[in-house]
Amino acid sequence: MPQLKYEQIADHLRARITDGEFGPGDTLPSGRDLCEQFGVSRATVVKAMDVLRADGVVVARQGAGFIVVETPVARPAGRRGSGPRVSGGQPFRRLGKPTRERPSRRVADALRLGEDEFALRRTRLVLLEDGTPFTLVDAWFPPDIADVCPRLSGDGPIAEGTTAYVARTAGRSPVHGADLCTVRLATPEEAELLDVSRPAAVAVVLHTACDAEGRPLVCEEGVTPGDLWELADDYPMGS
């Protein structure tokens, strides 16, 4: 299905931001310039900007137009839907550099990897509004995704979000997600990063996203202190 004009404009700007042409705090091209470049109405450009705002990529600044966000947001692992990325998004810190590693058996199983296969690991620490740790997330990307999405191996955050970046670069969008929630004790490293005293119970969410053909795109393992984790659901019941 061909992209609509506003989607083309949004993807064009995402690519320029991800490629570093526009950094945090930079002003994007004006609405007039984009209208002329793409031959569209101002309403179409506004719609494209609304998409980027909903994805947490840009913000509107009075008298300056749209600027790239200074602090990208990230979401905890799991409970993903088709809504805007800023819904549930929180400030975060990228920890270490992305590396190719052999994942745990359950992550490897979720990604359908063999025993000796490696995946690309990206780690982030999602924060509460006061800057204290909320949840530690390891995002694991299978080789067929990591190999065609070079920005995943970079040190910094991806302003558009890894989901949008993978969909745009690899041409594979998530259509199905599965979450597995378990409880265990925090490891020494997890306790230190989450600033909790051991022994400490943590909730672990294993989230796997797959494309239309059922091929895994990413497996995220989120670890949250027990006193900060909750699961709420609302659903109809039969008589």
pTM score of the predicted model: 0.81
The percentage of the chain sitting over the pLDDT mark of 90, rounded to a whole number, equals: 54
Say if CB 181 and CB 127 are below 8 A apart.
no
Q: How many angstroms separate the CA atoms of 238 and 235, rounded?
A: 10
Side-by-side strand order, sheet with 216-225? 73-74, 90-101, 119-127, 133-141, 216-225, 201-210, 176-185
- Calculate mean pLDDT across residues 89-106: 91
In 10 A of CB 211, how many CB atoms? Answer: 18
Residue with the bigger pLDDT between 77 and 133: it is 133
| pLDDT, tens digit (0-9, with 9 covering 90-100), for 71-97 | 777 788 887 655 555 556 788 888 999
Q: Find the length of the chain.
A: 239
* Domains observed in the chain: 5-68 (1.10.10.10), 73-225 (3.40.1410.10)
pLDDT at 160 over 80: no
Q: Which two tokens stand for residue 234?
A: 């609302």
Provide the 10 A C-beta neighbour count for residue 113. Answer: 20
Report the chain's mean pLDDT, rounded to a whole number: 88
